[in-house]
Structure 1
Amino acid sequence: MKKVNSSRGFTLIEVLIAILVLAIGLLGMASLTMTSLQSNQGAYLRSQASLLSFDIVERMRANWTEATTTNSYVLTASAAATSDPGCAASGCIASQQAQLDLSQWRADLANSIPGATAVISRTNNQYTITISWQESSALNRGITQQNSAESLSYTMRVDL
């Protein structure tokens, strides 16, 4: 009497199921890695906004008389780019220093946070620095919103 092998092909099914489980795991890891990269980029942009805010405040403090008596450091969202007054090598007067500070600061802003806008307002001797930018967020991505962007801003208020 012959024995019939009823487990024929069973190992092939096990291999296919193992490959399916592995593929799902790898897709999960890829998704986790992408979310982690986007979160790191977001943290980097927030850090840059904070550093740039402190930078312009320190520039104002270095040129305190100009910052507290005029509106040289006030910047609107629609303001034209300030040009370098060309006095860095020969020495600047206070108003030129303010123009140089804003010119260098806006260049740093454009290099650090692409597409960012900045507004600097003054009430008495209190300045408000607001930096706004668009940030891609993995948390906002749904099936219909593949390229969603979140508007973020960083605001700092300081008394000079």
Structure 2
Amino acid sequence: MNKINSQQGFILFEALIAMFITAGVLLGLGVLHLKSMQQSALTTQRTIATIQANDLVDRMWASVCSLDDNSGQVSSTNINAMKVQWQNRWKVTGNTSSFVQGLTANQKALHSRMNGWSGNLEIEDATKRRYKITIEWENKKAKWYASDPSQKETFIYYFSVPKCEI
């Protein structure tokens, strides 16, 4: 006589379920790793933008007495000249990096991560000597999933410098 075992195939079914659970966990870990890498790249870019903004702030503090015109007011001409000098220092053209002389190899390597970089300096409040730095760049690697990948990352930095007292 043949006994029919109600447990036949149950081990195969358990193995199949365990395989699906393991595949789901591995897929989840892969997605988590991808997101981690994207955030790491964005953090690196934001750090570079902070370095660039601090470079301009340092330049303005070092030249605090040359920011004013003859009447002691903030000179937009002097501010624009400083902005152009700063923009040229960090400029990247095309797909290849074309830097002004003076950057170290490490600075060039870091800045090559800032695709589509643009920087701007605005006078927020001339009487309080408050300024706004805006740095924008493309982050294509982290924006592959976005509906509008042309949208740029933005870093905004506000600061003030004192009036020149000679």
- Verify same fold: TM over 0.5: yes
Cα deviation for residue 128 of structure 1 reads 2.2
Matched position secondary structure for 2:131: strand
Instruction: In structure 2, list runs of 5 or more residues that go unmatched.
Output: 70-77, 92-98, 100-106, 162-166
Equivalent in the alignment of 2:136? 132
Cα deviation for residue 28 of structure 1 reads 0.8
After TM superposition, the score normalised by the length of structure 1 is 0.64
Counterpart of 2:145 (choices 141, 144, 157) is 141
Equivalent in the alignment of 2:27? 27
Cα deviation for residue 131 of structure 1 reads 0.3
> Quick one: distance in 2 between partners of 1:39 and 1:21?
27
Equivalent in the alignment of 2:83? 74
After TM superposition, the score normalised by the length of structure 2 is 0.62
Q: Deviations over 1:23-78 (max 9, x none)?
A: 01111111111112212222222222122111111022223333344231134xxx
1:152 and 2:156 are equivalent in the alignment: no
> Quick one: distance in 2 between partners of 1:7 and 1:34?
42
Equivalent in the alignment of 1:52? 52
> Quick one: distance in 1 between partners of 2:3 and 2:113?
75
Instruction: In structure 1, list runs of 5 or more residues that go unmatched.
Output: 76-98
Identical columns (%): 26
1:103 and 2:88 are equivalent in the alignment: yes
What count of residue pairs does the alignment treat as equivalent?
Answer: 133
